[in-house]
Amino acid sequence: MKQLQNESGFTLLEVMIAIGILAIGIGAILVAENNSLDVTMRAKRMTTVATLARNALIDAEREVQGKTFDETKKESSGKFDAPYSDYSWERKIKEITFPNVLSPEAKQEAGKPGDAVDPNVERVVKIATNYLSKASREINITIKWKEKGEDQKFSVSQYWVDLNHEFNMSEQ
């Protein structure tokens, strides 16, 4: 009679398949970890950029405080000190033009060209719109840097209203 031998163990093919599955799993984990590191570095970079932009806005506010619009530079730029010397900034101060919402053109765009408006209300709105346009400015800060060989930029804006601006009752 033949005796049956019970051989336990794995064949070479089974071991190779197991190693292949293990390699694919480890590869997927490494790719996920690498992506996680990239996202973390991007978040750190954006936090740094946002902080630099905030500080640049604070510096701009200090520089324009107490001055009239004519006394401030419309454009300026510079580099940040170490350890942020890879970053630069640009500041632009622009006039804001508020639209007269009761003008015939604005009523035409709104689709209500025939609506009659009291002339006194229209005059007050025009005076207020002119005042706000002359008393308001937009301060735009752009932070620039290079990342992976490409130019990057991040912009923020703040609005500056000169509450001491002369209030003129004329409609001009």
pLDDT digits (tens, 9 = 90+) for 26-46: 999 999 998 999 999 999 999
Q: Is the pLDDT of residue 140 over 80?
A: yes
Residue 9 backbone phi and psi in degrees, to 5: 135, 180
| Choice between 162 and 74, residue whose per-residue pLDDT is larger | 74
Which of helix, strand or coil describes residue 99? coil
Place of tokens 């015939």: 104
- Cα 20 off chain centre by: 45
What pLDDT sits at residue 104?
Answer: 64
* Mean of pLDDT values over 136-142: 92
- Tell me if 95 sits within 8 A of 130, measured CB to CB: no
What pLDDT sits at residue 128?
Answer: 84
What pLDDT sits at residue 112?
Answer: 60
Q: Structure tokens of 167?
A: 């209030």
Q: Structure tokens of 29?
A: 């984990």
Q: Is the pLDDT of residue 166 over 90?
A: no
Q: Angle at CA 152, nearest 5°, toward 55 and 65?
A: 25
Preceding amide of 83 cis, omega within 30: yes
How much helix, strand and coil, in percent to the nearest 5, is found in the chain? 45, 20, 30
Which of helix, strand or coil describes residue 78? strand
pTM: 0.67
The distance between the two most distant Cα atoms of the chain, rounded to a whole number of Å, is 122
Task: State the Cα–Cα distance between residues 78 and 95, nearest whole angstrom.
Answer: 22
Percent pLDDT > 90 in the chain is: 46
Q: Is the pLDDT of residue 115 over 80?
A: no
Q: What is the DSSP letter of 77?
A: E
- Tell me if 128 sits within 8 A of 153, measured CB to CB: no
Query: Residue 96, CB half-sphere, CA atoms under 13 Å: how many?
Result: 17
